[in-house]
Amino acid sequence: MERLDFEEGEVLRVGAESVIKAVRWRGLELVRKHRIPKKYRRPEIDERIRRSRTIHEAKTIVTLSENGVPVPLLIFLDIAGSSIYMQRIVGVEMRDYLVDGVDFSGAAYELGRITGLTHSLKISHGDLTLSNILVAENGKMWLIDFGLSLFNATLEDLAVDLHLLGRSLESTHPSLHRRFMEMFMSGYSEVAGSAQLSKIMEKVAEIRRRGRYVVRAGT
Ligand SMILES: Nc1ncnc2c1ncn2[C@@H]1O[C@H](COP(=O)(O)OP(=O)(O)OP(=O)(O)O)[C@@H](O)[C@H]1O
Ligand SMILES: [Mg+2]
Protein backbone atom coordinates (compact mmCIF):
# COMPACT_ATOMS: atom_id res chain seq x y z
CA MET A 1 0.00 0.00 0.00
CA GLU A 2 2.79 2.40 -0.85
CA ARG A 3 0.70 4.83 -2.82
CA LEU A 4 -1.55 5.44 0.16
CA ASP A 5 1.49 6.01 2.37
CA PHE A 6 0.09 4.49 5.54
CA GLU A 7 2.60 4.72 8.37
CA GLU A 8 2.51 1.47 10.31
CA GLY A 9 2.92 1.76 14.06
CA GLU A 10 2.92 -0.63 16.99
CA VAL A 11 1.07 -3.92 17.22
CA LEU A 12 -1.92 -3.32 19.50
CA ARG A 13 -3.29 -6.84 19.67
CA VAL A 14 -2.73 -10.26 18.27
CA GLY A 15 -6.16 -11.84 17.89
CA ALA A 16 -7.12 -15.40 17.11
CA GLU A 17 -6.95 -14.78 13.39
CA SER A 18 -5.55 -11.32 12.93
CA VAL A 19 -2.97 -8.76 13.94
CA ILE A 20 -4.20 -5.28 14.86
CA LYS A 21 -1.67 -2.55 14.24
CA ALA A 22 -1.83 1.17 14.87
CA VAL A 23 -1.51 3.06 11.58
CA ARG A 24 -1.34 6.75 10.76
CA TRP A 25 -2.54 8.20 7.54
CA ARG A 26 -2.34 11.94 6.90
CA GLY A 27 -2.61 12.62 10.59
CA LEU A 28 -5.56 10.25 11.08
CA GLU A 29 -5.22 7.56 13.73
CA LEU A 30 -6.28 4.24 12.23
CA VAL A 31 -5.84 0.55 12.81
CA ARG A 32 -5.08 -2.15 10.30
CA LYS A 33 -6.73 -5.51 10.92
CA HIS A 34 -4.65 -7.98 8.97
CA ARG A 35 -5.81 -11.57 8.76
CA ILE A 36 -2.68 -13.64 8.99
CA PRO A 37 -1.90 -16.87 7.14
CA LYS A 38 -2.58 -20.11 8.95
CA LYS A 39 0.10 -22.68 8.26
CA TYR A 40 -2.25 -25.63 8.70
CA ARG A 41 -4.27 -24.60 5.62
CA ARG A 42 -3.18 -25.10 2.03
CA PRO A 43 -1.94 -21.71 0.81
CA GLU A 44 -4.55 -21.21 -1.95
CA ILE A 45 -7.37 -22.12 0.40
CA ASP A 46 -5.89 -20.03 3.19
CA GLU A 47 -5.73 -16.97 0.98
CA ARG A 48 -9.30 -17.45 -0.19
CA ILE A 49 -10.61 -17.80 3.35
CA ARG A 50 -8.74 -14.73 4.58
CA ARG A 51 -9.92 -12.62 1.66
CA SER A 52 -13.52 -13.68 1.93
CA ARG A 53 -13.66 -13.11 5.70
CA THR A 54 -12.06 -9.70 5.21
CA ILE A 55 -14.64 -8.77 2.58
CA HIS A 56 -17.46 -10.12 4.72
CA GLU A 57 -16.31 -8.12 7.74
CA ALA A 58 -16.00 -4.96 5.63
CA LYS A 59 -19.53 -5.43 4.25
CA THR A 60 -20.92 -5.80 7.74
CA ILE A 61 -19.06 -2.73 9.00
CA VAL A 62 -20.36 -0.62 6.12
CA THR A 63 -23.95 -1.84 6.49
CA LEU A 64 -23.92 -1.15 10.22
CA SER A 65 -22.36 2.30 9.73
CA GLU A 66 -25.05 3.18 7.20
CA ASN A 67 -27.70 2.24 9.72
CA GLY A 68 -26.34 4.15 12.67
CA VAL A 69 -24.74 1.33 14.64
CA PRO A 70 -21.51 2.62 16.22
CA VAL A 71 -18.75 0.67 14.50
CA PRO A 72 -15.34 2.01 13.45
CA LEU A 73 -15.55 3.75 10.08
CA LEU A 74 -14.09 1.71 7.29
CA ILE A 75 -11.33 3.73 5.69
CA PHE A 76 -9.82 1.33 3.19
CA LEU A 77 -10.24 -2.27 2.13
CA ASP A 78 -7.07 -4.02 0.94
CA ILE A 79 -8.44 -7.28 -0.44
CA ALA A 80 -5.15 -8.62 -1.78
CA GLY A 81 -3.55 -7.95 1.62
CA SER A 82 -6.54 -9.35 3.58
CA SER A 83 -6.63 -6.12 5.53
CA ILE A 84 -9.16 -3.62 6.73
CA TYR A 85 -8.03 -0.10 7.59
CA MET A 86 -10.48 1.50 9.96
CA GLN A 87 -10.93 4.24 12.49
CA ARG A 88 -8.96 3.62 15.66
CA ILE A 89 -11.07 3.66 18.79
CA VAL A 90 -8.99 4.89 21.68
CA GLY A 91 -10.39 3.26 24.76
CA VAL A 92 -10.65 -0.08 26.49
CA GLU A 93 -12.34 -3.39 25.87
CA MET A 94 -15.57 -3.72 27.86
CA ARG A 95 -13.93 -6.60 29.73
CA ASP A 96 -11.43 -4.17 31.24
CA TYR A 97 -13.91 -1.34 31.63
CA LEU A 98 -16.01 -3.37 34.06
CA VAL A 99 -13.78 -2.95 37.08
CA ASP A 100 -15.10 -3.13 40.64
CA GLY A 101 -17.23 -0.15 41.55
CA VAL A 102 -17.71 1.23 38.02
CA ASP A 103 -21.24 2.43 37.29
CA PHE A 104 -21.98 0.27 34.28
CA SER A 105 -25.75 0.69 34.04
CA GLY A 106 -25.61 3.34 31.29
CA ALA A 107 -23.11 1.28 29.31
CA ALA A 108 -25.18 -1.89 29.65
CA TYR A 109 -28.34 -0.07 28.56
CA GLU A 110 -26.54 1.49 25.58
CA LEU A 111 -25.07 -1.86 24.56
CA GLY A 112 -28.62 -3.25 24.65
CA ARG A 113 -29.79 -0.48 22.34
CA ILE A 114 -26.90 -1.00 19.92
CA THR A 115 -27.46 -4.75 19.85
CA GLY A 116 -31.20 -4.26 19.38
CA LEU A 117 -30.52 -1.96 16.46
CA THR A 118 -28.10 -4.47 14.89
CA HIS A 119 -30.67 -7.23 15.33
CA SER A 120 -33.45 -5.13 13.85
CA LEU A 121 -31.37 -5.16 10.64
CA LYS A 122 -31.42 -8.97 10.79
CA ILE A 123 -27.68 -8.98 11.42
CA SER A 124 -26.14 -11.08 14.17
CA HIS A 125 -22.71 -10.20 15.52
CA GLY A 126 -21.59 -13.80 15.82
CA ASP A 127 -19.02 -13.28 18.58
CA LEU A 128 -20.57 -10.83 21.02
CA THR A 129 -18.12 -11.04 23.90
CA LEU A 130 -16.73 -8.36 26.18
CA SER A 131 -13.50 -8.11 24.19
CA ASN A 132 -15.41 -7.22 21.02
CA ILE A 133 -17.03 -4.17 22.58
CA LEU A 134 -14.88 -1.08 23.02
CA VAL A 135 -15.59 1.78 25.41
CA ALA A 136 -13.98 5.04 24.30
CA GLU A 137 -12.54 7.64 26.63
CA ASN A 138 -15.75 9.69 26.39
CA GLY A 139 -17.80 6.66 27.48
CA LYS A 140 -19.20 5.93 24.02
CA MET A 141 -19.47 2.33 22.98
CA TRP A 142 -18.34 0.69 19.75
CA LEU A 143 -18.89 -2.78 18.34
CA ILE A 144 -16.01 -4.47 16.55
CA ASP A 145 -14.98 -7.84 15.09
CA PHE A 146 -17.54 -8.93 12.51
CA GLY A 147 -15.76 -11.90 10.96
CA LEU A 148 -18.52 -14.24 12.19
CA SER A 149 -21.48 -11.95 11.59
CA LEU A 150 -24.51 -13.13 9.64
CA PHE A 151 -26.92 -11.31 7.37
CA ASN A 152 -30.52 -12.54 7.35
CA ALA A 153 -29.90 -13.95 10.80
CA THR A 154 -32.50 -16.30 12.25
CA LEU A 155 -33.98 -15.90 15.72
CA GLU A 156 -31.54 -18.55 16.87
CA ASP A 157 -28.53 -16.64 15.44
CA LEU A 158 -29.68 -13.50 17.25
CA ALA A 159 -30.24 -15.42 20.48
CA VAL A 160 -26.70 -16.80 20.27
CA ASP A 161 -25.43 -13.20 20.52
CA LEU A 162 -27.24 -12.71 23.84
CA HIS A 163 -26.19 -16.12 25.01
CA LEU A 164 -22.51 -15.46 24.26
CA LEU A 165 -22.63 -12.06 25.92
CA GLY A 166 -24.17 -13.64 29.01
CA ARG A 167 -21.54 -16.37 29.09
CA SER A 168 -18.75 -13.85 28.62
CA LEU A 169 -20.06 -11.83 31.59
CA GLU A 170 -20.51 -14.92 33.72
CA SER A 171 -16.97 -16.04 33.13
CA THR A 172 -15.18 -12.74 33.81
CA HIS A 173 -17.64 -10.66 35.88
CA PRO A 174 -20.04 -13.06 37.59
CA SER A 175 -21.13 -10.57 40.25
CA LEU A 176 -22.28 -8.05 37.62
CA HIS A 177 -23.97 -10.52 35.32
CA ARG A 178 -27.56 -10.22 36.51
CA ARG A 179 -27.76 -6.47 36.83
CA PHE A 180 -25.86 -5.93 33.59
CA MET A 181 -28.23 -8.17 31.62
CA GLU A 182 -31.29 -6.45 33.15
CA MET A 183 -30.06 -3.06 31.95
CA PHE A 184 -29.03 -4.57 28.64
CA MET A 185 -32.51 -6.00 28.13
CA SER A 186 -34.24 -2.72 28.85
CA GLY A 187 -32.07 -1.01 26.21
CA TYR A 188 -32.68 -3.86 23.80
CA SER A 189 -36.44 -3.76 24.18
CA GLU A 190 -36.50 0.01 23.75
CA VAL A 191 -35.23 -0.49 20.18
CA ALA A 192 -36.52 -3.94 19.26
CA GLY A 193 -39.75 -3.96 21.29
CA SER A 194 -40.76 -6.06 24.25
CA ALA A 195 -42.39 -8.77 22.12
CA GLN A 196 -39.11 -9.35 20.28
CA LEU A 197 -37.22 -9.37 23.57
CA SER A 198 -39.53 -12.07 24.97
CA LYS A 199 -39.13 -14.18 21.84
CA ILE A 200 -35.37 -13.93 21.92
CA MET A 201 -35.11 -14.64 25.65
CA GLU A 202 -37.18 -17.76 25.17
CA LYS A 203 -34.72 -18.89 22.53
CA VAL A 204 -31.76 -18.05 24.78
CA ALA A 205 -33.30 -20.24 27.49
CA GLU A 206 -33.69 -23.04 24.96
CA ILE A 207 -30.04 -22.72 23.89
CA ARG A 208 -28.95 -22.82 27.53
CA ARG A 209 -30.98 -25.95 28.12
CA ARG A 210 -29.37 -27.58 25.15
CA GLY A 211 -25.97 -26.48 26.40
CA ARG A 212 -24.75 -26.47 22.86
CA TYR A 213 -22.58 -23.43 22.88
CA VAL A 214 -19.44 -23.21 24.96
CA VAL A 215 -17.46 -20.09 25.84
CA ARG A 216 -14.41 -19.62 23.64
CA ALA A 217 -11.06 -19.49 25.37
CA GLY A 218 -9.94 -16.03 26.34
CA THR A 219 -13.26 -14.26 25.98
N1 LIG B 1 -10.85 -0.18 15.41
C2 LIG B 1 -10.18 -0.52 16.51
N3 LIG B 1 -9.71 0.43 17.36
C4 LIG B 1 -9.03 0.09 18.47
N5 LIG B 1 -8.76 -1.18 18.84
C6 LIG B 1 -9.19 -2.17 18.04
C7 LIG B 1 -9.92 -1.90 16.84
N8 LIG B 1 -10.21 -3.08 16.25
C9 LIG B 1 -9.70 -4.04 17.04
N10 LIG B 1 -9.08 -3.52 18.13
C11 LIG B 1 -8.42 -4.26 19.23
O12 LIG B 1 -7.89 -5.47 18.75
C13 LIG B 1 -8.53 -6.59 19.39
C14 LIG B 1 -8.71 -7.72 18.36
O15 LIG B 1 -9.53 -7.27 17.29
P16 LIG B 1 -10.63 -8.23 16.65
O17 LIG B 1 -11.47 -8.76 17.74
O18 LIG B 1 -11.29 -7.51 15.54
O19 LIG B 1 -9.67 -9.36 16.05
P20 LIG B 1 -9.83 -10.95 15.99
O21 LIG B 1 -8.60 -11.51 15.40
O22 LIG B 1 -11.11 -11.24 15.32
O23 LIG B 1 -9.88 -11.30 17.48
P24 LIG B 1 -10.43 -12.57 18.22
O25 LIG B 1 -10.74 -13.59 17.19
O26 LIG B 1 -9.33 -12.90 19.17
O27 LIG B 1 -11.66 -12.02 18.90
C28 LIG B 1 -9.86 -6.03 19.93
O29 LIG B 1 -10.33 -6.78 21.03
C30 LIG B 1 -9.44 -4.61 20.31
O31 LIG B 1 -8.80 -4.57 21.57
MG1 LIG C 1 -12.23 -10.15 18.81
Average pLDDT of the residues in 57-61: 98
Task: Please list the residue range(s) of the chain that carry CATH number 3.30.200.20.
Answer: 7-87
How high is the mean pLDDT of the chain? 94
Q: Using the predicted structure, report yes or no on whether residue 215 has a pLDDT greater than 90.
A: no
pLDDT band, residue 1 (cuts 50/70/90): low
**For position 20, what pLDDT does the model report?**
98
For residue 210, pLDDT beyond 80: yes
CATH T-level topology, domain 7-87: Phosphorylase Kinase; domain 1 (3.30.200)
> Atom 29 of ligand 1 has which residue's CA nearest to it?
131
Q: Does residue 207 line the site of ligand 1, with CB under 6 A?
A: no
Q: What is the pTM of this model?
A: 0.93
- The rounded percent of the chain whose pLDDT value lies above 70 is 95
pLDDT score recorded for residue 214: 58
In the chain, CATH 1.10.510.10 sits at: 91-210
Return residues with CB closer than 5 A to ligand 2 (ion).
Answer: 132, 145
What stretches of 88-181 adopt beta strand conformation (E)? 91-93, 133-136, 141-143
Residue 214 and residue 160: Cα distance in Å, rounded? 11
Task: Identify the CATH number of the domain defined by range 91-210.
Answer: 1.10.510.10
